[in-house]
A and B are shown apart, each in its own frame.
Chain A
Amino acid sequence: MSTKGTHIPDWLQVPFAGITPAPSQKKGQDLFPTGNWRSIRPVYRDKMPPCNNACGTNEKIQGYLDLVKRGKYLDAYALIKEDMPFPSVTGRVCYHPCEQACNRGSHDEAISIRAVERFLGDLGQALPKDVVKAGPPNGRKVAVVGSGPAGHSAAYQLARLGYEVTIFEKSPKAGGLNRGGIPDWVLPQEILDREIERLVELGITIKTNTEVGKDVSWDDLKKNYDACILAVGLTEPNSARAEGENKDGVHYGLPFLRDIGMGTSTVKLGPRVAVIGGGNTAIDCAREAFRQGAQEVTMITVEGNTSEMPAVPEDLHDMLEEGIELMHGLAMTAVKGNGKVDALELHPARFTGAINASPIAIDREAPAVNFPVDQVIIAVGQHASLKWLPDEFKTPRGTIAVDGFGRLGKTNFFAAGDIVQLGSGQPLMVVNAVGDGKRVAFNVDRVLTGETLEPRMIPVDVITDLKRMNMTYFPHFPRVKQEMLEPASRRRTQAEVIQAYSEEQAVEEANRCFSCGTCNACDNCYLVCPEPCIIRADRSNGLYKILVDYCKGCRVCIEECPTGCLEGVPELDFDTGVVRMDTAFAITQGLHGRQATQLRELPNLPPKDIENWK
C-alpha cells in the first residue's frame, strides 16, 4: 500500500477533488491566482469628453447628462452648478461649443446639450432654496466690478469660498451683457432676475448705479478690499468708420439692445431698417428690429456669404425664417441724409485677412450702391471704456493687461471676461466669460490664502476618435427637437422663441449621450467578464475594480466597453498589484510560498547556518 502512512499537512489540505465553492464576485476563484498570466491590464481611465473640454467653463456635461438619464435631476443640477452659476441663462443663450464638439455629431446628430441644461436650469429656478450655499465666512472682502457673465461667475464662486463679495454695477439693473446684450425673446428678464436673486441669497451685495472711475475709484477698491476682480466687459460700440455716422437714425447694436433690456429705450423704428455686421449681435439686432416695428429689415455684411459670417448657424437660420434679407460683400461707406439718415452708400468690400477683425478692403472705385433706409443699426463689435484704469495696465488693443492667471502685475487686482479675452483668439461668448470668471475667482483665492498659482490644466486625453469607443452599442437615434414658435407669429412679440424640453424629452435626449471615454456604470464589463474578475460596490463610476490577482488580461471587458473608458495597459507599466511567479505561489502559505520566503531570507543567513538549513 503505497499511500499507507501518508498524511497531507494542514496547509495543503484541498477540498475533495479540488471541488470548491463557486467563484464569487467578491473573491473570484479561490484556489489559484491567475493574474500572472496577464500581459495587458484593464484600467478604468476616464478621458476628457469633448463636450466638457469645449465648454468655456468646463461643465461636467457628460456627468449631468448621465444623472438626467437616471432621473437624478437635482444631483445633475448640483453638478452643473459647480461650474456654472446660471444654467437657466446659458441653457438659453449659450452658443454651445459643446454641441459642436459632441462626438455624436459625426455619428448622427450632436446631443442637444443646451436644451438639457435649460431643463436643469429651470428646475433650479423653481427650487425655493438653491442647492448652493455660501462658504463659511473667511473674513476677506472682494470687490467685483461688473455684473455680467464674468463678474457674476466670479462673485458666485468667491461667495461659495466664503468671501464677502460686493458687486459694482453702473447700470440700474444687474446682469451686464446677460441683460443688456440678449433680447427678451431669447432670455426673459425674469429668468435673469431670479439668478441675480440667487446671488443675493448667497450674501453678495450688489451696488447698482455705481460706476467705477466715477462713483468708486481705483484707490477706493485698493483700500477697502482684499482683492478686486474687474469684469467690466466691452461697453462701447465700434464705429463702422463711415462718413456721417453722427446723424439721427444711426444706432449701435449693443446700446440698442441694452436700452431695450433696461427698459430705457426711446428708439422708434421706421419701416426700413438696415443692420451693418454679420455677427451674432447683428443677428439679434435684426430680429429685434422686427419686434420694434420695422417692416423690412436688411442685414448688410462684408462677408461674401453666410458661411463666412461669424454667427451661429441656427440663429442665422431662425433669422432668415423670420424674413430678414441679407446683402453680402458690401461695406457701408457713408450715411446719407440731411441730419437724419435716409439712405446708405455701400461699396463692394471683402476681408483681406482671416474672417473677423481683419482689415477690410473696400473697392471705392466701384459704383456705389444707394440703399434707402429709415434707420441703420451698426453692430460691428465693441470695445472697452478704460479711462479709469492706470495706464500701465492697458494693452494697445484696448483691453486690460493681465498675466496668465488674470492678475494685474503683482497687485491684488484681477480681470476676467471680454475685457481680457477680446483679441486673444478666444471667441467672445457668455460661457467663456463665465469660465474666465470662475478661474480668476479661484486664482484670487489662491493669492489671498498664500498658495501658489497653478497654470490652467490642459486636458491630456480628449477622446475624439469614435474608434476608441464600441459603436455597436450606439444605434442611430435622431436628436430630440426643441419646439419653436412659428416665424410669422413670433417676429412681432417678445415671447420666447425656443421652447423648453419636457422631462421626458430631456431624459430621451440625455439617453443619447455616448458618455465618451467616461465610465457611466453601464455594467457591461461586469457582465461580460468571463470570470468574476470585476467587482463593484455599487453601479457607479469609480466603484468598479479589477481583481488583478485573477484577471488573465483577456481584453473582453476592454473591447466591450461602450464608452472607451476601459483601456488595456501593458503590465510592464505597473509596479503595484503585479502577480509575478513567486508572488503567485506565495499568495497562500504553501510550499512555494514558504520557499519564496526562505529564498528572500537566504542572503541574511550566515553560511554555516545554511548548511543546516531546512
Chain B
Amino acid sequence: MATVAPAKKKNVRINGCVAAAQAAKYADVDVITAYPIRPYTATMMALAQMVANGELDAEYIVADSEHSQLSIAHGASSSGARVFTGSSGVGVQFAYELYSPISGSRMPVQMMIADRTLDPPGDFGSEHTDALSTRDMGWLMGWSCDAQEAFDNHLMAYRIGEDPRVLLPQMVCQDGFFVSHITTDCELPDSGQVKEFLPPYKHPYPLDPRHPVSHGPQIMPEQGPPLQLERARAMEGAVPVIEDVHDEFARIFGRRYDPWVEEFMTDGADVVFFMQGGHAVTARHAIRHMRQRGANVGLVRLRTIRPYPTDRVMQSLSKFKVVGVVETNMGLGSVSSGGSLYAEACAALYESDTRPLVLSFMAGMGGEAIVLKEFYWMTQKMLDAQKRGAIEKRTHWVGFEE
C-alpha cells in the first residue's frame, strides 16, 4: 500500500504481459504471488523487476506450485491485501481447488491469465480452454484483445471486484502470444488518474489478530444454500457495477469500452462473427476487406463472459441472419461437439423472436493463428447458410474442410 513512483501519462509499446504487470503496479498491489509458466512468466518477470527496482513496494512471493500460489493469494487477500497473481494453461488447472473457496469467501483476488493450450501435448499456443473451464467458479471473467485493453481491463477489474457490493475475484484473460507477447501501442496513465479511479482496497472482515474472526468455518448443510444464493447475488449485482465502472473509466481516462460486447461494422451486417480475445484483431482486418468486396459481415466481440450478458447478447445477435461462433476453446462432446461458446450464444438467443442461424467454428486450436484466409472461408460458410436458410452442420473444423 505504499509507493508507486509518481508517473506522468506516456505512450509506450509493450506486450500484453507487461501491460498486465504495469496495471498491477499502477494499482499499487500489496502482494504478488507467482509461479512460472509460459506465457504468463513474462508478467511475473516484469513485476519482479519492478519490485527489485523499487518501483513497486509489494510482497513478492514465489510459491512452490500454482496450488500454493493461489492458496497464498487467498490468505493474503483474507488479511486485507490487494493481491495480484496469474498463470497459464495447466497452471490454471493445477490451482483449480482454490477458485471456489476464493470466490466463496468473497476475496477479490485478481488473476491474470495468458491463455495456453492444455496438454497434451505440450503446446505454448493460445486456447481459451484453460480459463473457460473455470468460468462457473464465481470469478468475474473477460478477455482483452490487445495490450491497451489488457491494461485497462486489469484496472477496471480491481475496481469492480473490490466494490463492497461485489467482492468477487477476477480473471483478466488475454491470448497467449497473440496478446501476451506482441507489442502494441499502449498509453500508460498519469498516476493521479489511477488514484482517482481506484480507491484503496478494504475488505469488511479481514483477518486481524486484534479483531479475530473465522474465515471459511464449517457450516451446517442448511446454511449452504443461503451462502450460494448470496454468491449468485454478488455475481448478478456486479452487472450495474461493471457498467458504472466503465463509465467512470471513460470519464477519467478517456477510453470508452462497451462493458459487454464490442460491435464492429455490424451496421447492415447479415452475418457476424461472435468471439472473444485477440483473434478479433485479425477478424477486424478480414471484415474490412470483405465489406469492400460486398459481403455484409461484422463482428460481435464478447468482452465479459462472467457475469454473462445474456440479454445484451440476445439483443445484439438477434439483429443478424447468421452468427458464426469462433470458439478458440475445446468443448469435447458439448452441445455443438465443438467449443463451449456456442452453447452460451445459443442459450442467449433461445428466447429471441428473430433467432439467427448459429454456426460454430473450431479455429485457432492449439494456439495456431486464425489467418485472413480462414476468416474469408468462415464468412463464405455463413453466407451459404444465409442463402440456404439452414445450416449445413453445427460445427466446422476450420482448415480441415473444403
Contacts and interface: CB of A to CB of B under 8 A. Distances in A.
A591 B230 CA distance: 18
Contacts of B219: 14, 18, 31-32
Nearest to B206: A19
A20 B213 contact: yes
A29 interface: yes
Interface stretch (B221-229, B286-294, B358-366): B221-229
B214 A23 contact: yes
A39 B95 CA distance: 34
Contact of B218 (A13, A17, A32): A32
Contacts of A8: 226, 229-230
A189 interface: no
B215 A2 contact: no
A67 B229 CA distance: 57
A1 interface: yes
Contacts of B254: none
Contacts of B233: 3, 6
Contacts of A29: 214, 217-218
Contacts of B167: 17
Interface in B158-203: 167
Given A3-B236, A14-B226, A17-B106, A22 B212 contact: yes
Contact of A590 (B105, B204, B216, B220): B220
B105 A14 contact: no
Nearest to B107: A17
Interface residues of A, number: 29
A450 interface: no
Interface string A1-45: 111001010001110111111110000011111100000000000
Given A3-B232, A8-B229, A18 B217 contact: yes
A3 B229 contact: yes
Q: How large is the interface on B (under 10, 10 to 19, 20 to 34, 35 or more residues)?
A: 20 to 34
Given A3-B233, A6-B229, A22-B214, A16 B221 contact: no
A3 B213 CA distance: 28
B94 interface: no
A264 to B, nearest CB: 78
A588 interface: yes
A379 B88 CA distance: 97
B22 to A, nearest CB: 31
A23 B216 CA distance: 12
Nearest to B106: A17
A21 B213 contact: yes
Contacts of B229: 3, 6, 8
Nearest to A33: B220
Contact of A21 (B212, B223, B226, B230): B212
B309 to A, nearest CB: 12
A31 B215 CA distance: 12
Contact of A12 (B105, B223, B232, B236): B223
Contacts of A13: 226
Contacts of B232: 2-3
Q: Interface centre among A17, A584, A591, by most B CB within 10 Å? A: A17
B205 interface: yes
B221 A31 contact: no
A584 to B, nearest CB: 8
A588 B220 contact: yes
Nearest to A588: B220
Contacts of A1: 236
Nearest to B220: A32
A18 B236 CA distance: 19
B104 interface: yes
B236 A21 contact: no
Contact of B213 (A14, A22, A32, A584): A22
B227 A17 contact: yes
B213 A18 contact: no
A225 interface: no
Contact of A18 (B221, B225, B227): B227
B223 A16 contact: no
Contacts of A591: 222
25 contacts: A2-B236, A3-B229, A3-B232, A12-B222, A12-B225, A12-B226, A14-B219, A16-B204, A18-B217, A18-B223, A20-B217, A21-B212, A21-B213, A23-B217, A29-B214, A29-B217, A29-B218, A30-B217, A31-B219, A31-B220, A31-B223, A32-B217, A585-B220, A590-B220, A592-B220
Interface of B: 104-106, 167, 204-205, 212-223, 225-227, 229-230, 232-233, 236
The 4 closest A-B pairs by CB, nearest first: A22-B212, A32-B218, A590-B222, A591-B222
